[in-house]
Amino acid sequence: MSLAARSLLVFLPFLCFAQTPRPVIGPFGVMHGASLQTYSLRWFDSPAGIAPGSIFLLKGAYLGPDDLAQGVAPYGLRLPDIPGGTEVHVRSLVTGEVHQARIVHAWSFQVAAILPEDFPLGAAEAQVWHGGQASDPAEFPVVRSWPGLFTRSQDGSGAGIIQNWESPADLPLNGLTHSAKPGQYIILWGTGLGEARTD
């Protein structure tokens, strides 16, 4: 046996044991995708929660690749789309049915996903899969509607992302120095409206 073959035999067992750390969703790690408000089933008397069809965040550790992976609309069920890529499985604690959420972006410390539009209302739990391993489930409430605006600071506080409609090619950000005029259309960027039909 050649020296190269013997070296490979010694090296291969180490490769078999090299494993991605298990994903961890942090305490109160399920958040509204725009307001970054956190939820707990202990607050279930509150109307707050994640609405079907809305963007939500999962924060923690080892949830995705070291470098941010951005999805492309209409967004897939795994990101990056390779074996071991990040997946989000959501289970209804009311009906027991399990759905996969579409992934907007995935990163080691954060995943943004879209709760399926037909997901049942009530208590639910989310699990992140990455590197072939699953996190412990994190519980959260699913509600009919709980809208929130995306903010310029991207931390859920401060000025919302609002555009003034000047023309199809001219959509400046609304602000103190560029306010909307009476009767002018504006565009609000948000998520959490709940079920929306186009028919």
Contact (CB, 8 A) for 140 and 91: no
CATH tag for 18-144 (out of 3.40.190.80, 2.70.50.70, 3.40.710.10, 3.40.50.300): 2.70.50.70
Length of the chain in terms of residues written: 199
Cα separation, 66 vs 90, whole angstroms: 23
Residue whose tokens read 């310029």: 152
Q: Which residues of 139-176 are buried (b: 16+ CB within 10 A; e: fewer)?
A: bbbbbeebebbbbeeeebeeebbbbbeeeeeeeeebee
Tens digit of each residue's pLDDT (9 = 90 or more) over 108-154: 999 999 999 999 999 999 999 999 999 999 999 999 998 989 998 88
Cα separation, 194 vs 51, whole angstroms: 5
Helix H or strand E segment including 3: helix 3-17
Strand 190-191 relative to strand 148-149, pairing: antiparallel
Tens digit of each residue's pLDDT (9 = 90 or more) over 67-105: 999 999 999 999 999 999 999 999 999 999 999 999 999
User: How do the domains of the chain map onto residue ranges?
Assistant: 18-144
The pTM assigned to this predicted structure is 0.82
Tell me the two tokens of residue 38: 């956190």
Tens digit of each residue's pLDDT (9 = 90 or more) over 15-42: 444 577 999 999 999 999 998 888 755 5
Cα separation, 161 vs 151, whole angstroms: 5
